Amino acid sequence: MAGIEIAKVVKAYGSVPVIHGIDLSVRDGEFVVLVGPSGCGKSTLLRMIAGLESVTDGTIRIGDRVVNDLPPRDRDIAMVFQDYALYPHRTVAENVGFGLRMRGVDAATIARKVNEAAEILQITHLLDRKPGQLSGGQRQRVAMGRAIVRDPKVFLFDEPLSNLDAQLRAEMRVEIKKLHQRFGTTIIYVTHDQVEAMTLADRIAILKAGHVEQFATPDEVYRQPRSTFVARFIGSPSMNIVPARISPDAATIALAGGAALAAPASFARARGRDVLLGLRAEHLGLAGPEGVPARTVIVEPLGSDTLALMQIGGVEMTGRFPPSAPLRAGGEVTLGLDLEKAHLFDPETGLAIA
Amino acid sequence: MSDAIRHRLTPLEKSERRLGFAMLAPAFLLLAAVVLYPIAELIRNSFHFNHLAQPWMGTPFVGFENYVKALGDDRFHEAVWHTLLYILVTVPGAVVIGLGLALLANQPFRVKWPVRLGLLLPWALPLVFAGLIFRWFFEYNQGIANAMLRGLGFEPLNWLTSPGLAFFAICLAIIWKSSSFVALVLLAGLQTIPKSFYEAAEVDGATKWQQFREITLPMLRPAIFVALIFRTITAIQTFDIPYAMTNGGPGNSTETLAMYIHKTTIDFLDLGYGSALAVLMFLVSAVITSLYLRHTRRDPGRH
């Protein structure tokens, strides 16, 4: 077991930098998820930790060892790949025991450890099969077996669930979380799916264009996003972010296209400024006559609740309503906006106004 | 009743079928003219006496006489033996060298085209050219082989005029010429192996040699089989390179089956006997190929 220290890490391909000086400190036993859109550098960072990509500048420490120049096999890590990387000509048992066999572990020990791992992952009945005969979820389990059998200091996961359908993905998410609770080994997990990030992580690192936008607990990135990028990326549906202007006396906030609302006291921090107002769907609600008039554009019933796109003056916002809410497309309603819970961002930098 | 429905073609289906046959016809006729007819003629000839130098004998039917003659023909036996030796040496030789070349070409070179060109060039070269090039290499007075020997202080060798050395030189030329084809087939195979297989092995602690043995070789098995089959079939027909380098000499010590057939029919004008030999060669190819195919069908790597 070991923590990971990433300090001022830079990666460049030729003269093209893709990672611009990342600092991340992962505690021993922590489950950290690297999340971000395609091309943000999350996989590259993971591969640098694994040793599959060289480090252009900065240092990566696993435990108390600088591993920059260590080959992958000497880093005491295990990695689960997106395509599982199972060898089609080998049985499940041989795939799981591969790492041990390569390291010259004796056959009896390999058999014992493979059986232990298989039991944990409930794949004992599959041990004699070839990967080609397994379903996607079973292959995923085998790939994890191959990782846990080595009992490494750190597990690395590179988008392990992205080849599975939605239901299996939810199932395997639970499985991975159980594994972490059981072994308590440090995990670094890469995904582009914010739901996976929120449900699995102790802390989430949100990456954007080669730097860390925010590194915090799921709760914190949801409640206190550092920027509009994080605010939009985390949470489903995405946070509503609309241009607005706070009056010089900070008494009202005017949304683009008209509607003026009473501003809560906390908005005094941005008095007289143009801002981006961020409001999550659950902070819109149907209100009495004191609310803002709005027109329902689209209604999306989800069963447990209903999403509806609302036109408020010149802006559109998505709200989350109880399924019983009397909404129909084109209908006029009065909305209450819970501005106490709203976020203010600088329109120039996109950063939260504290 | 369902049969009746199944067998009755609608006018549209009938016209589609007619169009299909019409479009196949030219290719089929061409094939019949240049492949099927000559083969039939070859087989017919092999059962007749047909010697162009003895036209007064006519072309009487002689049954299996030509085949019986082959059984007792020492030169035929030797030619078969030489062909077998070429197969045994040059097929594994080309596969081993070709595998090496394929692995080399699969490395992440910054500029890929010189590597690919270097691989393709021997393959694109006509066989007779390759034979001539190697004949010059091993030529006694000006050849590069003897020049190197002299440079190292050794006596020059009679490369193409002593039986053992001539066989060696021809094998070298054949391997050089054919390993590039093998390399192309294996390179295509190599490129189907996902990169993550090697990365996972790297993380799991496998050395490069272990990765080669555990991933590359087993994953390449189907491609290696394809290369072996193709290489063997062409090796059975070995003709151009020994023809250009030694013309079967010294004596007939490097003569292959294909060369003996060529001599029998073209030089000695004995069409009947030559046809019988050609049919025998065809049978040998068919037997060897079917053995390979049976082996691939048993391949436990696939299911």
Alpha helix (H) residue ranges in A201-348? 218-223, 228-233
Rounded to the nearest angstrom, the minimum Cα separation between A237 and chain B is 34
3-state helix, strand, coil in chain A (%, to 5): 30, 35, 35
Of B196, B203, B210, the CB nearest to A83: B196
Tokens representing B88 are 């045994």
pLDDT computed for residue B88 by the predictor: 92
Query: What confidence tens digit (pLDDT) does each residue in A154-179 have?
Result: 999 999 998 888 888 888 899 899 99
pLDDT computed for residue A243 by the predictor: 92
The number of C-beta contacts closer than 8 angstroms across A and B is: 64
> What contacts A225, CB < 8 A, 6 or more positions away?
A214, A231, A234, A239, A278, A343, A352
- Residue A352: inside a domain, yes or no? no
For residue A156, give the chain B residue with the closest CA: B203
For residue A155, give the chain B residue with the closest CA: B203
Note down pLDDT in tens along chain A; length 354 residues. Answer: 688 999 999 999 988 999 999 999 999 999 999 999 988 999 999 999 999 999 999 999 998 899 999 999 999 999 999 999 999 999 999 999 999 999 989 999 999 999 999 999 899 999 999 999 998 889 999 999 999 998 899 999 999 998 888 888 888 899 899 999 988 999 999 999 999 999 999 999 999 999 999 999 999 999 999 999 999 999 989 999 999 999 998 888 988 877 788 888 889 898 889 999 999 999 998 887 778 889 999 999 999 999 999 999 889 999 999 998 888 888 899 998 899 999 999 999 999 998
Best mutation target among A74, A96, A102 (most B Cβ atoms within 10 Å) is A102
Tokens representing B208 are 């490069």
The answer on pLDDT for B63 being more than 90 is no
Best mutation target among A44, A86, A87, A146 (most B Cβ atoms within 10 Å) is A87
Does the N-terminal peptide bond of residue B92 adopt cis geometry, omega within 30 degrees of 0?
A: no
Of B203, B215, B301, the CB nearest to A72: B203
Contact B303 A132 (CB under 8 A): yes
Does the N-terminal peptide bond of residue A218 adopt cis geometry, omega within 30 degrees of 0?
A: no
Q: How confident is the model at residue B160 (pLDDT cuts 50, 70, 90)?
A: confident
Q: Which CATH architecture has domain B65-298?
A: Orthogonal Bundle (1.10)
Q: How confident is the model at residue B198 (pLDDT cuts 50, 70, 90)?
A: very high
For residue B213, give the chain A residue with the closest CA: A102
The answer on pLDDT for B197 being more than 90 is yes
Least confident of A135-139, A149-153, B55-59, B127-131: B55-59
Of A50, A89, A102, the CB nearest to B218: A89
Contact B199 A85 (CB under 8 A): yes
Question: Residues A27, A113: one domain?
Answer: yes
**Is the CB of B299 inside 8 Å of chain A's CB atoms?**
no
Question: Residues A173, A245: one domain?
Answer: no
Rounded to the nearest angstrom, the minimum Cα separation between B198 and chain A is 8
**Is the CB of B139 inside 8 Å of chain A's CB atoms?**
no
Of A79, A82, A88, the CB nearest to B203: A79
The model's pTM is 0.81
pLDDT computed for residue B302 by the predictor: 45
pLDDT computed for residue A326 by the predictor: 86
Question: Residues A100, A132: one domain?
Answer: yes
Question: Residues A191, A58: one domain?
Answer: yes
- For chain A, the distance separating the N- and C-terminal CA atoms, rounded to the nearest angstrom, is 38
Instruction: Give the H/E segment covering residue A153.
Output: none
**Nearest C-alpha neighbor of A51 from the set A208, A190, A152, A156:** A156
**Is the CB of B219 inside 8 Å of chain A's CB atoms?**
yes
Q: Which residue has the tokens 């609309």?
A: A242
The answer on pLDDT for B23 being more than 90 is yes
CATH of the domain at A51: 3.40.50.300
Rounded to the nearest angstrom, the minimum Cα separation between A51 and chain B is 8
For residue B219, give the chain A residue with the closest CA: A89
Rounded to the nearest angstrom, the minimum Cα separation between A340 and chain B is 49
Best mutation target among A46, A70, A79 (most B Cβ atoms within 10 Å) is A79
Cα–Cα separations (whole angstroms), residue B150 to A18, A332, B141, B173, B187: 57, 102, 11, 21, 38
Angle at the Cα of A55 from the Cα atoms of A227 and A66, rounded to 5 degrees: 100
Last residue of a domain, one of A233, A265, A286: A233
The domain in which residue A303 lies consists of 241-345
Q: How confident is the model at residue B297 (pLDDT cuts 50, 70, 90)?
A: low
Contact A78 B301 (CB under 8 A): no
The ipTM of this complex is 0.85
Query: What confidence tens digit (pLDDT) does each residue in B268-290 have?
Result: 888 888 899 999 888 888 887 78
Question: Residues A207, A267: one domain?
Answer: no
Average model confidence (pLDDT) for chain B?
A: 85
Of B201, B203, B301, the CB nearest to A89: B301
Tokens representing B54 are 């003895």
Question: Residues A39, A124: one domain?
Answer: yes
The answer on pLDDT for B137 being more than 80 is yes
Question: Residues A226, A300: one domain?
Answer: no
Question: Residues A215, A117: one domain?
Answer: yes
Contact in structure between B130 and B173 (CB atoms under 8 Å): yes
Q: Domains in chain A: how many in total?
A: 2
Question: Residues A246, A187: one domain?
Answer: no
Contact A102 B205 (CB under 8 A): yes
Give the A-side interface with B, CB within 8 Å.
Answer: 50-52, 71-73, 77-79, 81-83, 85, 87-89, 98-99, 102-103, 130, 132-133, 146, 150
For residue A158, give the chain B residue with the closest CA: B196
pLDDT computed for residue B201 by the predictor: 94
CATH of the domain at A254: 2.40.50.140
**Is the CB of B217 inside 8 Å of chain A's CB atoms?**
no
Crossing angle between the packed helical segments A166-183 and A136-148, to the nearest 10 degrees = 20
B-chain residues within 8 Å CB-CB of A163? none
For residue A70, give the chain B residue with the closest CA: B203
Query: What confidence tens digit (pLDDT) does each residue in A83-95 have?
Result: 999 999 999 999 9
DSSP A58: E
Query: What confidence tens digit (pLDDT) does each residue in B149-159 have?
Result: 888 888 777 78
Question: Residues A257, A187: one domain?
Answer: no
- Residue A19: inside a domain, yes or no? yes
Question: Residues A144, A224: one domain?
Answer: yes
All structural domains of chain B with their residue ranges: 2-46, 65-298
- Residue A353: inside a domain, yes or no? no
Residue B299, φ and ψ in degrees, nearest 5 = -45, 115
**Nearest C-alpha neighbor of A142 from the set A200, A98, A76:** A98
Taking CB atoms within 8 Å and a gap of at least 24, the contacts of A341-344 are A341/A279, A341/A280, A341/A283, A342/A264, A342/A277, A342/A278, A342/A279, A342/A283, A343/A225, A343/A231, A343/A239, A343/A277, A343/A278, A343/A279, A344/A246, A344/A267, A344/A269, A344/A270, A344/A275, A344/A276, A344/A277, A344/A278
Contact B205 A103 (CB under 8 A): yes
Amino acid at the residue B161: T
Of A85, A89, A103, the CB nearest to B194: A85
Question: Residues A265, A127: one domain?
Answer: no
Q: How confident is the model at residue B3 (pLDDT cuts 50, 70, 90)?
A: low
